[in-house]
Structure 1
Amino acid sequence: MTRDRPTAGWLRRVRTGQGRPIYLALVEALETAVREGELQPGDQLPPQRAVADQLGIDFTTVTRAYGAARARGLVEGAVGRGTFVRRRAVDDEAGLIDLSMNLPPPPQGVSLAALLKETTAAILDRTDVATLMAYHAGPGTPGQRAAGAAWLAATLGDVGPERIVVCPGAQSALTAVLTTIAGPGAALVVEPLTYPGIIALAARLGLSLIACPVDDEGFLPEALAGLCAEHRPAAVYLVPTTRNPVATTMGLARRREIAAVVAASAAWLIEDDPYNRLFDSPLPALATLVPARTFHIATLSKTLSPGLRTAFLAAPTDAMAQRIADALHATALMGSPLITAVAVRWIRDGAAERVLAGVRLEARARRAIAAELLPAARGDAEGLHVWLDIPAGLDAGGLRALGAARGLALVGADAFAVTPDAPAGLRISLGGPAKASLLRESLGNVATLLKPPTIV
């Protein structure tokens, strides 16, 4: 019965007979339940007929209430699926449309909600729950490591599962690598604008960051060679595909040059490659060019869903994979067994490729919108973000404030800068807005912000 449904408890909040329309009382009860956390984003509401029966009111009254709740942005739904509490990002709950966080857009032609329900049901039906939900130390089960090797094959080729470590996200993988190969005071070579997670991690571990000169493809090989010889860094860190935040990709010739520099040095190479699978024909990873010195990390958060919190790390050797697993155990213990099981099942049964295909389609459609509205933006056609140089006379802080006034969450170069003289710009993420129409409106507002003021 409706009364027994976990998401039907909020109906007790409905207060009728107080001189106001019943449908408004229903909407206000729903709004209070969402605000106080009784109902969470994604919770499915009871069917309208069941609500009418429980409250003893007319079905059309409930229909009107659900419609009003949808107009207020409290719920969303589709024919045949039901009505759900609307999913909101943190910034969205603060009234902002998030253009600052990189995440994959909703995949075209795939319902993640339906797929998750189907997958978790199948896992729980065919797996011993006690075993699934127990502690799982180590680099992953043989099946999980084999799934990781299969996922990475598009860019790494044939990699033995013994070299794969299953991690609860890329940040955990980076932590495990750096705590294994770099002690306090060690140097790490990065680009002048780089992933904020590596900046924060270096500060936490007491590592020094050295910015290497770059061009549109990334590190300048001669400059990198000079820095490696002078500073003898523990590692070189890079995001070669859809570089974060500047959105361009390192070509194959440059990858070979960088691989040669690393091979001739004493440094390790940390290849953080979250975006490569978004390309129909991804370039070979640097790990294939200098395998004995490279840690390759690929998270599913940018290609499938951040909620999967699963990343696969390919270590240079089997022995190094075990050392990374030991470091991972010391810092994160393990990933979520259920979430990892979902990711592995998707890879095995082909669902991951279907989701990836849907993300690719939507990402390219959104990139086309960005090309139309922000023609000066740089970025790959397959990318989840673009980079905008800030016109003279404007600054990132001012643009963020102006953006917030227009309901936009923006992120500027300062979040990625290793040196104070790093280039100024904005990284515009395209996957955050729930709908392409909302992205179009948001990018139109960004274009307006960048227009020079009219001189009267």
Structure 2
Amino acid sequence: MTRDRPTAGWLRHVATGGGRPIYLALVEALETAVREGELQPGDQLPPQRAVADQLGVDFTTVTRAYGAARARGLVEGAVGRGTFVRRRAVDDEAGLVDLSMNLPPPPQGVSLAALLKETTAAVLERTDVATLMAYHAGAGAPGQRAAGAAWLAPVLGEIGPERIVVCPGAQSALTAVLTTLAKPGDRIVVEPLTYPGIIALAERLGVKLVPCPVDDEGFLPEALERLCAEERPAAIYLVPTTRNPVATTMGLARRRAIAAIVGASDAWLIEDDPYSRLFDSPLPALAALAPEHTLHIATLSKTLTPGLRTAFLAAPPGPMAARVAEALHATALMGSPLTTAVAVRWIRDGLADRILAGVRLEARARRAIAAEVLPAARGDAESLHVWLDLPAGVDPAGLRALAAARGLALVTADAFAATPDAPGGLRISLGGPAKAAQLREALGNVAALLKPTAIV
């Protein structure tokens, strides 16, 4: 019965007296339940027919109420899928279209909600719940590590599962790696514009970031070779595919040159690779070219969904996987057994490839929109984000404030700067808006914002 559904309790707040339209009473009860946290983002509402039967009202009254709730931005849904409390990012709570957070877009032709329900039920049916929900130490169960090796095979080739460490997200993996490889005062070579997570970690760990000159493919080999000789860095960090934030990819010849330099130095290479699986034919990872010296991190957050909080780390042959697993246990203890089990089952059953194919289709469609609306933007055809150079003298804070006034959340180059003289620019993420039409409108607003008369 509807009254027994966990998300039907808010119906008790519907005031049907006083001469007020019942559909408005329904909307206000729903709004109150969302505001007070009784209903959470993603909660599924009862079917309209069931609500009408419980309240003793016409079906059309409930239909009108659900429509009004959708117009107010309280709920979302689709025919055949149901009605859900709308999911909102932090910036969306302030009424902004978020172009700052790099998310995979909703996959075409795939319902993540349906797959998650089915897979979770299957996991719970075949697994002892007490074992599943207990503490799990180490680098991951053998089956989980084997699934990670299979997922990474398109970029790493065939590697043994003993080299895989299962991690609760890329940031946890990066934390474990840095605490394993570097001590306070050590140096890490990075690009002048780099992932904000490495900047924050370096500051907390007392590690110094050393920027290396780059071109459109990344590190200049001669500059990196010189820094390795002069600075004696503990590690070199890079995102070679769809470089974050500048959205270009390091070619194969450059990868081989960097691998050779790393092989001749005492530095470890940290390869952060969230995007390669978005390519139909990805280039070989640096970990495939310099396996003895590279720690490769690949999150599922950009290729499938961030909510899984699962990443796979491929360590060099030997004891490094165990060392990283010990650091991971010290800093994050473990990942979520349930979401890891879902990720592993998706990989084993081929569902991960289905989701990935849907994400690829939508990502390319959105990148095409960006190419049309912002032709000056740089980025691979498969990229989840694009990069725009900004004119000299543009104040990043002022630009973000102007964007917020127009309903946009943007992130500028200062968030990625490892050095005060890093170039200015704007990273625009394409996966955040729920629909392609919303993205097109938002990018049109960015184009208008960047006209010389708008930013003077």
- Find the counterpart in structure 2 of residue 449 from structure 1: 449
In 1: Cα distance, 2:70 partner to 2:162 partner: 50
In 2: Cα distance, 1:385 partner to 1:223 partner: 27
- Find the counterpart in structure 1 of residue 369 from structure 2: 369
1:109 and 2:109 are equivalent in the alignment: yes
In 1: Cα distance, 2:454 partner to 2:220 partner: 40
Q: CA RMSD in A?
A: 1.1
Conserved? CA contact 1:247–1:380, under 8 Å: yes
Gaps of 5+ in 2: none
In 2: Cα distance, 1:394 partner to 1:373 partner: 21
1:45 and 2:48 are equivalent in the alignment: no
Deviation track 1:241-284 (CA, whole Å, cap 9, x = no partner) reads: 00000000000000011111111111000000000000000000
Deviation track 1:126-184 (CA, whole Å, cap 9, x = no partner) reads: 11111111111000000000000000000000110000000000011011111111111
In 2: Cα distance, 1:335 partner to 1:318 partner: 23
DSSP-derived class of the 1:199 partner: helix
Deviation track 1:186-226 (CA, whole Å, cap 9, x = no partner) reads: 10000000000000000111100000000000000111111
- Find the counterpart in structure 1 of residue 398 from structure 2: 398
Conserved? CA contact 2:392–2:424, under 8 Å: no
In 2: Cα distance, 1:183 partner to 1:260 partner: 25
In 1: Cα distance, 2:90 partner to 2:393 partner: 31
In 2: Cα distance, 1:335 partner to 1:102 partner: 22
- Find the counterpart in structure 2 of residue 235 from structure 1: 235
- Find the counterpart in structure 1 of residue 280 from structure 2: 280
- Output the TM-score relative to the length of structure 1: 0.98
- What does residue range 20-419 of structure 1 map to in structure 2 within 5 Å? 20-419=20-419
The alpha-carbon deviation at position 393 of structure 1 amounts to 4.9
Conserved? CA contact 1:212–1:227, under 8 Å: yes
Conserved? CA contact 2:448–2:454, under 8 Å: no
- Find the counterpart in structure 1 of residue 13 from structure 2: 13
AA matched with 2:369: I
The alpha-carbon deviation at position 318 of structure 1 amounts to 3.6
The alpha-carbon deviation at position 394 of structure 1 amounts to 2.8
DSSP-derived class of the 1:295 partner: strand
Deviation track 1:277-318 (CA, whole Å, cap 9, x = no partner) reads: 000000000011111110000000000000011000000124
Conserved? CA contact 2:41–2:84, under 8 Å: yes
Conserved? CA contact 2:107–2:360, under 8 Å: yes
In 1: Cα distance, 2:449 partner to 2:391 partner: 11
Conserved? CA contact 1:235–1:267, under 8 Å: yes
Deviation track 1:65-98 (CA, whole Å, cap 9, x = no partner) reads: 1111111111112222211111111111111110
The alpha-carbon deviation at position 454 of structure 1 amounts to 8.0
Runs of 4+, deviation exceeding 6 Å:
none
In 2: Cα distance, 1:242 partner to 1:395 partner: 26
Conserved? CA contact 1:218–1:250, under 8 Å: yes
Conserved? CA contact 1:391–1:450, under 8 Å: no
In 2: Cα distance, 1:90 partner to 1:357 partner: 28
Conserved? CA contact 1:390–1:396, under 8 Å: no
In 1: Cα distance, 2:351 partner to 2:124 partner: 17
The alpha-carbon deviation at position 395 of structure 1 amounts to 2.8
Residue 191 to residue 454, structure 1, CA distance change in 2 (3 Å): closer
In 2: Cα distance, 1:429 partner to 1:24 partner: 37
AA matched with 1:164: I
Deviation track 1:363-387 (CA, whole Å, cap 9, x = no partner) reads: 0000000000000000100000000
AA matched with 2:424: A
Gaps of 5+ in 1: none
AA matched with 1:298: A
Residue 210 to residue 79, structure 1, CA distance change in 2 (3 Å): same
- Output the TM-score relative to the length of structure 2: 0.98
DSSP-derived class of the 1:401 partner: helix
DSSP-derived class of the 2:280 partner: coil
In 1: Cα distance, 2:378 partner to 2:48 partner: 48
DSSP-derived class of the 1:91 partner: helix
Higher mean C-alpha displacement, 407-416 vs 30-39: 30-39
The alpha-carbon deviation at position 413 of structure 1 amounts to 0.3
AA matched with 2:43: D
In 2: Cα distance, 1:359 partner to 1:50 partner: 34
The alpha-carbon deviation at position 396 of structure 1 amounts to 2.1
In 1: Cα distance, 2:454 partner to 2:178 partner: 50
